[in-house]
Amino acid sequence: MPRLTSSIIGGENAKEGDWPWMAHVYVVTSNTHATDCGGSLISERWVLTAACCFKPSFIKEESVVRLGAYWLSEESQHESQYGMRKVILHPKYSDSCKGNDIALVELDRKATLSHFVKPVVLANPSQVFDQHSDCRVTGWGMTGKNVPLKDPGGDTGGPLVCKVQGQWVQAGIVSFSTVTPEKKICAPSFYTRVSSFRDFIKNNTFFSTEY
């Protein structure tokens, strides 16, 4: 798998097991093209990510979801790989990657849960997040500045989580980024609000999104 070269600005390397819902969504669309994206485990069978990770829509069977992974370039001790049984894009997704940018991936079998692999709790509509909230973005891009721009680059599809009463809940999905005029920095800037799509998630996965 390729080494990623995008960036979460001001980020830092996570410790193994810090974000146990984090998924690596590796989408193969042809013999010459593959996309690396982030995602989040929301149940034993389903991963939440961005719809723009799946264009073109044809997905080869070599596509996988990695859970419990720590490095992209090598297999981690606690990771497992899963095939994609089904991919569901939001029916009103805009191909410009700027609207309804949400997708669900059904794993080919139930995920084995552990300290390193756990589902994330989804935010509900009553929860409000602002500049004072303790929020984090996790992704597979590099953490430094002044790196080449790629799109997607490992951060797209990753979760934006915020702490509510001591518990991390997923408030958003990294959708797309803006770039400085010098085109030296690619920072996640726009997010899909998860609470606005609870019905889409519930109606397709058939598990309760009420927490």
pLDDT at 70 over 50: yes
What pTM, to 2 d.p., does this model score?
0.83
Q: What is the structure's pLDDT at 19?
A: 94
36-57: pLDDT as tens digits:
999 999 999 999 999 999 876 6
pLDDT at 151 over 60: no
Tell me the DSSP string of 104-150. Answer: EEEESS----BTTB-PPEEP-TT----TTS-EEE--SSBSSSS----
CA 23 to chain centre: 6
Q: What is the structure's pLDDT at 41?
A: 98
Residue that wins the pLDDT comparison between 5 and 121: 121
Query: H helices of the chain, where?
Result: 198-205
Of the ranges 101-110, 126-135, 157-166, which one carries the lowest mean pLDDT score?
126-135
Q: What is the structure's pLDDT at 61?
A: 87
The overall average pLDDT reported for the chain is 81
Residue that wins the pLDDT comparison between 175 and 83: 83
- Looking at domain 22-205, which CATH architecture does it have? Beta Barrel (2.40)
Please give the Cα distance from 179 to 199 (Å, whole number): 33
Please give the Cα distance from 172 to 166 (Å, whole number): 18
Mean pLDDT of 83-111: 91
Of the ranges 10-19, 40-49, 142-151, 180-189, which one carries the lowest mean pLDDT score?
142-151
User: Domain coordinates of the chain in residue numbers?
Assistant: 22-205
